[in-house]
Amino acid sequence: MTTQTMRAKYVNPFTDFGFKKIFGEEASKPLLIDFLNSLLPTENRIKTLSFKNPEQLGASEADRKAIYDIYCESEKGEKFIVELQKAKQNYFRERTIYYSTFPIREQAEKGEWNYNLKAVFCIGILDFVFDDEDEAEAERKEVVHVVKLKNGHNKVFYDKLTYIYLEMPNFHKTESELETRLDQWLYFLKYLEDFQSIPHLFQEEAIFTQAFETAALAKLSPEEMDSYEYSLKVFRDLKNVMDYAIETAVKEAVETAVKEAVETAVKEAEEKTKEAVETAVKEAEEKAKEAVETAVKEAEEKAKEAVETAVKEAEEKAKEAVETAVKEVEEKAKDAVEMAMKEAEEKAQNDMKKVAKSLKDNAIEISIIMATTGLSSEEIEKL
């Protein structure tokens, strides 16, 4: 859905301000509890929670600190870190693992302690996908990824540390396809900024009614609106940087493909020309050898009748045979070279058309395809 020509009515939840407005304020606790419960196993469901300081200091001033988007604790003492990540980041998984060490270490008690820890959950809402090449296609398309510490037999070794990653670009369900509470939250988060009114599905849901009221731009104070506009600008600037990086990567891929196609065509043409010349020379040598042998044989037979006549005829026939062989060699070599060049040109033309078709199928502008492949617009349109 797109509402580019309409003014947004709700905050963008992928901005720092929007995310914390919906989930990170005291009044938003019911929303955060409902969202977390849609992700958690039944035994870990939350009834109440309290916000904790999102800034975690190291053991000393020299140690690196951690700043969470949201950090809270349930009535059972379980810890929850909720992070919104707008752009792909090197070592993001390592960062979440590092973050999870703080709520573990803060549970240490002075004096005698049996090391019995409360569960820790790290939840990442990602506006990108991990692109793990070693995953199966079905796994790469999943929205929810749950990670636990397991042993060599793929059995859970420690069940009190859980990482949950939500890859939002993989969520494509429509309103009519929503089945679970988590589906509803993912749909709400992904399309909130585009909504002009509360969808019918959410109108009878008190928790989502509160969520839409909390996210309404019309209810923000002037100071909150200023903070949101700044947060939105940061989000859009970051998105523009990512879009430019993707566009540059596509352009580089096209240039590489064209260069490889041309190099391959030239290499194949050189190989075919070399083979044609070698074949022509070999055939010429064989025909010359056959012609000489024939002339010698005829000369020997005619020598019995007249040595002088036979020698003369042998010289003439040998000369004619050699000239004929040389001429045939030249003609065959010329034909072979011309044919090889023609095949090379046709191969290069076909390769260019393949490149052009691939670019056209990927909706690249015709002017760019013409500049890249050297084909005319008419040739491209026929592909």
| CA gap 117, 100 in Å, rounded | 13
Yes or no: say if 366 and 339 are a contact pair by the CB < 8 Å rule.
no
Number of neighbours of residue 214 by Cβ within 10 angstroms: 19
Q: 223 φ, ψ to 5°?
A: -65, -40
Number of neighbours of residue 307 by Cβ within 10 angstroms: 11
Give the pLDDT confidence of 209-265 residue by residue, as tens digits.
Answer: 999 999 999 999 899 889 889 888 877 776 565 554 445 544 564 465 447 754 765
Number of neighbours of residue 43 by Cβ within 10 angstroms: 8
For position 178, what pLDDT does the model report? 95
The pTM of the whole model exceeds 0.85: no
Query: Which residues does residue 80 pair with via DSSP β-bridges, in sequence order?
Result: 72, 121
Degrees, nearest 5: CA angle 113-118-119: 150
Yes or no: say if 341 and 269 are a contact pair by the CB < 8 Å rule.
yes
Give the pLDDT confidence of 168-202 residue by residue, as tens digits.
Answer: 999 999 999 999 999 999 999 999 999 999 999 99
Dihedral (CA of 351, 353, 355, 358) sign: negative
| CA gap 190, 166 in Å, rounded | 11
Yes or no: say if 141 and 132 are a contact pair by the CB < 8 Å rule.
no
Radius of gyration of the chain, Cα coordinates, nearest whole angstrom: 38
For position 284, what pLDDT does the model report? 60
In which residue ranges of the chain is pLDDT below 50? 1-5, 57-65, 244-246, 249-250, 253-254, 257-258, 262, 269, 307, 310-311
Yes or no: say if 83 and 124 are a contact pair by the CB < 8 Å rule.
yes
